[in-house]
């Protein structure tokens, strides 16, 4: 039995039509925004920094698509949980772009590699999942970890292994360094309840007995869509700057269009 009435979803899509169309326009703009072929960077002989920026951009693009899709499906509370990783993409991109960019880019990828080892160890230590770790996977990750240990030294490797962020600092500290502490605090507070499953009122209510809410809804929909658009436009600006894409006019046009939507 389909308990999600089609008319409910149609109503949600009508109510936030401008937001959905706007996000779709931005996503469709990306193939024009980032052309095929070689991208120009301000340090041609370096690879870690631009590669890290592109990896974060790719993640942010997919996350924005997911936010739009979830909101259209009446799952705005779940879309809310994605605001934090989207904002962290922007914060990481800005922090990578300060100081020794290439060195930070290398640290980013080293941390990504260390995370693979942590995931593999978690699988190995779980009786139900350990058989998913193949011998080839284990050898590959072990060799990569040993290589990192030799480069960093045991003390530094262990410090990085225990860290919660590739920089060795907290994401909150990084956000403050790039001047986005207020924005991060807002998205952090808004999405925390969804991430930690403490968004009780979004899913259940009490009126002379408990009532479970499993129907599509639009709570937080406008806030999540609006915040995700603002963050992604800032990400576009950073990509435009890093890769010398000369798309200032197009990005300014998107900003102006969005200002009209939220008036």
Summarize pLDDT for 65-119 with one digit per residue, the tens: 999 999 999 999 899 999 999 999 999 999 999 999 999 999 999 898 888 888 8
Residues 105 and 80 both lie in one domain: no
**pLDDT score recorded for residue 58:** 94
Read off the pLDDT of residues 41-74 as tens digits, 9 standing for 90 and up.
555 557 899 999 999 999 999 999 999 999 999 9
| Residue corresponding to tokens 């990306």 | 30
Residues 185 and 163 both lie in one domain: no
Residues 94 and 193 both lie in one domain: yes
Nearest to 216 by CA among 197, 199, 195, 202: 202
Residues 52 and 182 both lie in one domain: yes
Residues 127 and 183 both lie in one domain: no
Residues 56 and 169 both lie in one domain: no
Nearest to 113 by CA among 134, 153, 151, 141: 141
**pLDDT score recorded for residue 38:** 58
- Structural domain that includes position 133: 100-174
Mean pLDDT of the chain: 87
Confidence class of residue 9 from pLDDT cuts 50, 70 and 90? Answer: confident
Q: Which one is predicted more confidently, 31 or 40?
A: 31
Integer CA distances (angstroms), 199 to 82, 193, 206, in order? 14, 5, 14
Residues 4 and 92 both lie in one domain: yes
Query: From CA 69, how far away is CA 16, in angstroms rounded?
Result: 12
Single residue among 174, 190, 224 that ends a domain in this structure? 174
State yes or no: pLDDT of 1 exceeds 50: no
| Residue corresponding to tokens 């990084």 | 174
Domain count, the chain: 2
Residues 196 and 238 both lie in one domain: yes
- Per-residue pLDDT, averaged over 239-255, amounts to 93
**pLDDT score recorded for residue 21:** 96
DSSP string, 128-197: TTGGGS-HHHHHHHHHHHHHHHHHH-HHHHHHHHH-SSTTSS-HHHHHHHTT-HHHHHHHHHHHHHHHTT
State yes or no: pLDDT of 37 exceeds 50: yes
């Amino acid at each position: 039995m389909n308990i999600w009435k089609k008319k409910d979803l149609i109503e949600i899509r009508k109510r936030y039509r401008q937001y959905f169309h706007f996000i779709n326009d931005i996503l469709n703009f990306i193939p024009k925004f980032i052309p095929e072929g070689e991208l120009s960077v301000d340090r041609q002989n370096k690879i870690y920094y631009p590669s890290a920026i592109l990896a974060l951009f790719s993640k942010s693009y997919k996350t924005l698509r997911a936010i739009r899709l979830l909101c259209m499906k009446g799952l705005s509370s779940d879309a809310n949980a994605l605001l934090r990783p989207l904002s962290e993409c922007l914060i990481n991109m800005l922090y990578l772009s300060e100081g020794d960019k290439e060195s930070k880019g290398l640290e980013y990828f080293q941390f990504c590699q260390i995370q693979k080892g942590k995931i593999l160890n978690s699988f190995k230590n779980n009786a139900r999942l350990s058989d998913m770790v193949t011998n080839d996977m284990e050898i590959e990750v072990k060799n990569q970890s040993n290589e990192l240990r030799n480069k960093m030294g045991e003390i530094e490797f262990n410090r990085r292994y225990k860290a919660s962020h590739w920089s060795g600092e907290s994401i909150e500290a990084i956000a403050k360094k790039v001047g986005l502490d207020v924005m991060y605090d807002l998205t952090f507070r808004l999405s925390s309840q969804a991430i930690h499953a403490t968004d009780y009122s979004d899913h259940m209510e009490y009126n002379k007995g408990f009532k479970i809410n499993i129907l599509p809804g639009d709570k937080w929909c406008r806030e999540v869509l609006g915040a995700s658009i603002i963050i992604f436009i800032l990400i576009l600006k950073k990509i435009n700057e890093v890769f010398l894409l000369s798309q200032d006019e197009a990005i300014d046009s998107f900003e102006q269009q969005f200002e009209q939507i939220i008036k």
